[in-house]
Amino acid sequence: MSDLAPVLQEFFTRRLVSQRDASPATITAYRDTFRLLIVFAAARSGKTPSALSLADLDAPAITAFLQHLQDDRGNSARTRNARLAAVHSLFAYAALRHPEHGALIQRVLAIPGKRRDRTDVTYLTPDETDALLAACDQSTRTGRRDHAMLALAVQAGLRVSELTSLTCADIRIQAGPHVHCTGKGRKERDTPLLRGTVRILKAWLAERGGQPGDPLFPGPSGQRLSRDAVERRVRLYHERASAGCPSMAAKHVTVHTLRHSAAMRLLLAGVDITVIALWLGHESLTSTQAYLHADMHQKQEAIGKTAPPGSRQKRYQPPDPLLEFLENL
């Protein structure tokens, strides 16, 4: 067995599990990265995976792997950078175990992340949110489950991982109703629930039954819904809702879109951005500031405040339909 296999095994068992106590999601993400990397490097070098050495994962090989992710697998720059972060973590650990490969390791650690475009935040308007919820067929148990799940997601702004990990006991509907969840970095937070959401969840809990530790939104066999299963349900209702709400058709709607919608609803209601960050469980305000860029209403108000005294500020309106078409290109 080469020097790569032992250091990779120690990285997972000693560094990630014992020392860092990494979450299952982190371990899964790192596992997938190295499974892809090992298969790619084995095919590139003509060796079996267990025969690969650290020397087979030099900077040119890692760079070729990252290019393979983008060109052949169609991964985004964000995914590429996440894979690279996992590789950097392994090589930083390997530097302590194999100083003889110090030069090779330093060249790998010097591979930079790729800059990526910052896309606009996609969110649903109140009418679009109502259309999405109305698309759930509440004459079936699955439809009532999905209606409760989406209503909670769009009001509380939960991540899909937080949504799927909820148990029946996480919904507290006594005095001060709220949902308790554990988010990124194992940070726990409580999010208040509106009266309408409480009513929907009360009805679902009564129908759901089960024990406090059971999944709040179970699949057909009573197991937790997977991330993919939830996203498929959202795509289904998005397609249905688009028929009666054409403005939704041009939007790419995911569970994270519902999270964005919750944040934008709070922002447009005048809630301070620091409170929104706490609501969403953001580690840094940098993540929350993306919603400020998405709100044209606030930008227009800023223009109005800087207008000279006595002047009237109006947004430009094209005088002709043809000019309007050209302006919107």
Catalytic member of 14, 184, 224, 240: 184
Active site residue 184: yes
- Please indicate whether residue 123 is annotated as part of the active site: no
Q: Quick check: is 187 catalytic?
A: no
- The continuous run of DSSP H or E covering 189 comes out as strand 188-192
CA distance 98 to 28: 25
The answer to whether the CB of 216 falls within 8 A of the CB of 166 is yes
CA-CA distance, 130 to 254, in Å (whole number)?
Answer: 15
Active-site residue, 259 included: yes
Q: Is 68 a catalytic residue?
A: no
Catalytic residue among 98, 101, 159, 265: 159
DSSP H or E run through 182: strand 178-182
- Confirm if 88 and 110 have CB atoms less than 8 A apart: no
Secondary structure (3-state) at 58 = coil
Taking the C-alpha atoms of residue 145 and residue 162, their distance in angstroms, rounded to an integer, is 16
> Which is the catalytic residue, given 83, 145, 233, 259?
259
Q: Catalytic one among 80, 256, 260, 265?
A: 256
Q: What is the DSSP string of 262-304?
A: HHHHHHHTT--HHHHHHHHT-SSHHHHTHHHHH-HHHHHHHHH
Residue 297 annotated in active site: no
- The residues carrying an active-site annotation are 159, 184, 256, 259, 282, 291
